[in-house]
C-alpha cells in the first residue's frame, strides 16, 4: 500500500495584486532556514497560472513583496545573526 504525501506548502505568503512571495521553511543541522520564491499570477483562458517572469510595471510590487518577506523572516527570530535568515 502506498501513501501519497501532501505537497510542501509555504509557511507564509505575501501577495500584492498579482505578485506573490512564498516563504518556505527548511530545518537544517544548523537551524531553521528560509527561502523565498516570487511569482506573478496571470489568467490563461479560464485557468490561473503563475510565472517567474516580470515586466517593467511588475517590478515595484516585486520589490515590495520581497521587502515584506525579508521583514517577516526577521520577525520570526530564526538564526537572524548568520545573514541567511
56 burial type by CB count under 10 A (0-12 exposed, 13-18 middle, 19+ buried): exposed
Backbone dihedral angles phi then psi of residue 62, each to the nearest 5 degrees: -60, -45
CA-wise closest residue to 8 among 29, 30, 23, 21: 23
pLDDT band at residue 3, thresholds of 50, 70 and 90? Answer: low
Please answer whether residues 73 and 23 qualify as being in contact, where contact means their C-beta atoms are separated by less than 8 angstroms. yes
pLDDT at 75 over 50: yes
pTM of the full structure: 0.80
Can you tell me whether residue 74 is helix, strand or coil? helix
pLDDT digits (tens, 9 = 90+) for 12-71: 999 999 999 999 999 999 889 999 999 999 999 999 999 999 999 999 999 999 999 999
Q: What is the pLDDT of residue 6?
A: 75
Residue spans of the domains in the chain: they are 12-82
* Cα–Cα distance measured from residue 39 to residue 16, given in angstroms and rounded to the nearest whole number: 11
Amino acid at each position: 500500500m502506498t501513501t501519497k504525501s501532501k505537497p510542501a506548502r509555504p509557511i507564509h505568503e505575501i501577495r500584492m495584486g498579482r505578485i506573490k512571495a512564498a516563504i518556505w521553511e527548511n530545518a537544517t543541522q544548523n537551524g531553521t532556514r528560509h527561502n523565498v520564491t516570487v511569482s506573478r499570477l496571470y489568467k490563461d483562458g479560464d485557468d490561473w497560472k503563475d510565472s517567474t517572469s516580470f515586466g517593467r510595471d511588475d517590478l515595484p510590487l516585486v520589490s515590495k513583496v520581497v521587502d515584506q518577506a525579508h521583514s517577516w523572516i526577521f520577525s520570526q527570530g530564526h538564526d537572524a545573526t548568520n545573514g541567511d535568515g
